[in-house]
Structure 1
């Protein structure tokens, strides 16, 4: 008996969602491996230098893709200033995050990294004048309450690594807002290419002040970090292209699990209870915000579809 079209569509949708989840899990695991390598290298090389090589290798990997897609014509833009701003914010976020990894446990840094969507929501309200209802405000508030649980101001001195991770999330959030503006006129490849160029440029400048030539083994590790970074970006892109954000985003929480496992096995780090509680609360707030944004988008689309044509 032939299957109905709705059954076939549902089966394909389920397969796509499963593949998207697989890509998201892979991205989180590879990301934790990359962070572990960065933390290991930070004993001998400054994190700023490691960040620069991450960008350099990523740009080298991207060049054949740009050439195959049409060369310079693909990346031609009239919004060079916006690309430069995005690159500066991306560089600041990446370098401070890499530096934070060398100062604090992997699990703590991973948990604080979940705050980026919260800051992005706040910046969207301030900069893009987005209208936010009470429920999304609650999600934002819950997320930041989780941040306070991890940092515990007043209970103990707040570590520099945790503060740098928090600053990194703010910078990443700013980059997200600029990317949102750029997508209105720029192609994904153009945005990615200019980001690789400017992030590499802005990463190189501070690296000059801490530069030291890597050893033979360190060259291989730096190349591996750059390759892992490109693989992570690919997995993220595939995950979000195959399924809705609310389907794949919950599995990003596994980064905290991977970070706890590898942090213990490699660096003998044992995350405390507050890191797990705070990370869970932050992630819960982020998931709820993603859910509300998706629901709001669907409601807007339905309203537009019902509206009479002009």
Structure 2
């Protein structure tokens, strides 16, 4: 929940979300630049291993978190699910255009909304059901099954969004008893641990260039999450969420200018529908929170839809 003072700073919140979007698109472009030089699983592991450097300021939150059997189970389960999402995401980045990855990644909050109703007992009103339906139509527009070939990268992105949805549902459960900062930092640690055996299985000595690119990727990811946190602190999620649509525009431009990918109007249209549905759900939740119609939950927007990065 944001304070009244925070809600009076929408421009600042939108600026930080804009900066977060640029960081994430820059990171995506670098992942795609790696191409097939490195196995996606190895690249995912190194990205998270480098990212551990940026957790040093949060060491206090890590140490203070009690490692009870319940906490260890939740940390481990979320680490496995999120690691699967990360591996699928890195694979998809090297197989399909940037704009399609970005558009399909918007489905994660939709999965979270549906999953919260199915597994956490949250109410799913008709308006939210309609929004989910619109998002599904958006995905069908992006994929256009029957009108073009569905690539393995598309299936990987569907799996990525679904796995991320499961990860965030676990986070919603965990933040009831654990500090949000600890939840986020432990995620990076456990994802790195889970990825170790997979990375060993496909390991090949990386070049210094690839290591440098992966470190910059980790830096962009950290900066993006930090900027997003600042955005959510400055303004309500309902204000900052629509700004994430710019990521689709930047991804399309980078894909066209840097990687010579064709501009697909259907991807833009489908991505717009998906994001419109996400923004509506976000706005409705903000309205209900202000009216007291539902009990507030700690905001997860700092991680959605980009934590796989």
Same topology, TM > 0.5: yes
Are the counterparts in 2 of residues 38 and 47 from structure 1 also a CA contact under 8 Å?
no
Give the length in aligned residue pairs: 291
Number of the residue aligned with 1:145: 137
Number of the residue aligned with 1:226: 218
Change (3 A) 1:71 1:103: closer
* CA deviation after TM superposition for structure 1 residue 302, in Å: 9.1
Of 115, 126, 141, the match for 1:123: 115
Q: Write out per-residue CA displacement over residues 87-136 of structure 1, whole angstroms, 9 at most, x where no aligned residue.
A: 11211112211110100000011000110011111111111121111111
Are the counterparts in 2 of residues 108 and 271 from structure 1 also a CA contact under 8 Å?
no
**Stretches of structure 2 lacking an aligned partner (at least 5 in a row):** 297-309
Cα distance in 2, alignment partners of residues 77 and 293 from structure 1: 33
Are the counterparts in 2 of residues 97 and 168 from structure 1 also a CA contact under 8 Å?
yes
Of 5, 10, 13, the match for 1:17: 10
Are the counterparts in 1 of residues 17 and 228 from structure 2 also a CA contact under 8 Å?
yes
Structure 1 residue runs of 4+, over 4 Å off?
Answer: 301-304
Local SS of the residue matching 1:267: coil
Aligned alpha-carbon RMSD (Å): 1.9
Of 204, 213, 223, the match for 1:212: 204
**Stretches of structure 1 lacking an aligned partner (at least 5 in a row):** 1-8, 305-310
Q: Write out per-residue CA displacement over residues 19-62 of structure 1, whole angstroms, 9 at most, x where no aligned residue.
A: 21111111111111111111111221111111111111111210
- 1:32-111 alignment, distance < 5 Å: 32-62=25-55, 64-67=56-59, 69=60, 72=63, 74-78=64-68, 79-111=71-103
Number of the residue aligned with 1:200: 192
Local SS of the residue matching 2:292: helix
Kindly indicate whether residue 234 of structure 2 is the aligned counterpart of residue 247 of structure 1: no
* CA deviation after TM superposition for structure 1 residue 171, in Å: 0.6
- 1:270-309 alignment, distance < 5 Å: 270-300=262-292
Number of the residue aligned with 2:252: 260
More helix by share: 1
* CA deviation after TM superposition for structure 1 residue 71, in Å: 6.3
Are the counterparts in 1 of residues 62 and 182 from structure 2 also a CA contact under 8 Å?
no
Report the structure number with the largest CA radius of gyration: 1
TM-score, normalised by the number of residues in structure 1: 0.89
Local SS of the residue matching 1:295: helix
* CA deviation after TM superposition for structure 1 residue 271, in Å: 2.6
Cα distance in 1, alignment partners of residues 84 and 227 from structure 2: 23
